[in-house]
Chains A and B, each alone.
Chain A
Amino acid sequence: ETGVTQTPRHLVMGMTNKKSLKCEQHLGHNAMYWYKQSAKKPLELMFVYNFKEQTENNSVPSRFSPECPNSSHLFLHLHTLQPEDSALYLCASSQVRATNTGELFFGEGSRLTVL
């Protein structure tokens, strides 16, 4: 148990569907992240939220829409995805401070398959 919970763990969707991934952290952290992990590629940073405000959007297509209603919850809304969007989507959190070391606490990931 890492303190970061992601649901669902597995998701299969068609290209015309709308679905959402959910992430909740129980660590009292003030920053949350979405990463995409495809086979044999480095983790790709998608979005960063600090104190509920989005501070990073790493040129992510608009078919991915993040939402951070509070410091403990993060969503990734998915709409008209492509098969190449199939990947493991990882949520992470960290505690931001003046001497921030930036270590991330990851959830177990949501395995997404787009048909």
Chain B
Amino acid sequence: SQKIEQNSEALNIQEGKTATLTCNYTNYSPAYLQWYRQDPGRGPVFLLLIRENEKEKRKERLKVTFDTTLKQSLFHITASQPADSATYLCAALSGGYNKLIFGAGTRLAVHP
């Protein structure tokens, strides 16, 4: 079955460093991948989308890559801040029309 996997449940880094989160997909080739941020007790918020024909996408301190050979997307936050602490979710369409499936998320903690 089609799967989205985020290998790290949690990631702790020091303020100012670059955080790198990984998303892998198996058993299919999504046309695009999306990344969301979720704060405790809140709904996810859309951050970025990257299409399969785009190697890299940037938005302010965020950068997303899409490697169709490795079946992987990397999500980078440069110059990380404590305010970046949250759970980050990877998502992709799975077969059906508007059927978006999610990874379990990576909980990022940025320490001062």
Task: Determine whether the beta carbon of B49 is less than 8 Å from that of A109.
Answer: no
Question: How many Å lie between the Cα of A107 and that of B42 in the bound state?
Answer: 8
- With A4-B43, A108-B42 in contact, is A102–B34 under 8 Å at CB? yes
A61 on interface, CB distance cutoff 8 Å? no
Task: Determine whether the beta carbon of B98 is less than 8 Å from that of A50.
Answer: yes
**B residues contacting the other copy or chain, number (CB 8 A):** 24
Partner of B103, one of A42, A56, A107: A42
Q: Considering residues B45, B46, B89, which has the most beta carbons from chain A within 10 angstroms of its beta carbon?
A: B46
B49: chain A residues at CB < 8 Å are 101, 103
Find residues 74-96 in chain A having any chain B CB closer than 8 Å to their own CB.
90, 92, 94, 96
Question: How many Å lie between the Cα of A45 and that of B100 in the bound state?
Answer: 8
Question: How many Å lie between the Cα of A67 and that of B42 in the bound state?
Answer: 23
Question: How many Å lie between the Cα of A89 and that of B25 in the bound state?
Answer: 25
CB-defined interface of A25-60 with B at 8 Å, one 1/0 digit per residue?
Answer: 000000101000000111101001010000110000
Question: How many Å lie between the Cα of A50 and that of B96 in the bound state?
Answer: 12
**Number of A-B residue pairs having CB atoms within 8 Å of each other in the complex:** 67
Task: Determine whether the beta carbon of B104 is less than 8 Å from that of A55.
Answer: no
- With A42-B104, A42-B105 in contact, is A101–B99 under 8 Å at CB? no
25 A–B contact pairs at CB < 8 A?
A2-B43, A33-B98, A33-B100, A40-B9, A40-B104, A42-B104, A43-B89, A43-B101, A45-B99, A45-B101, A48-B99, A55-B98, A56-B96, A90-B44, A102-B32, A102-B100, A104-B100, A106-B43, A106-B44, A106-B45, A108-B41, A108-B42, A108-B43, A109-B43, A111-B41
Given A43-B101, A96-B98, A102-B100, 19 extra CB contacts under 8 A: A31-B98, A33-B98, A42-B103, A48-B96, A48-B98, A48-B99, A50-B97, A55-B96, A55-B98, A56-B96, A56-B97, A56-B99, A101-B49, A102-B32, A102-B93, A103-B46, A104-B44, A104-B46, A106-B45
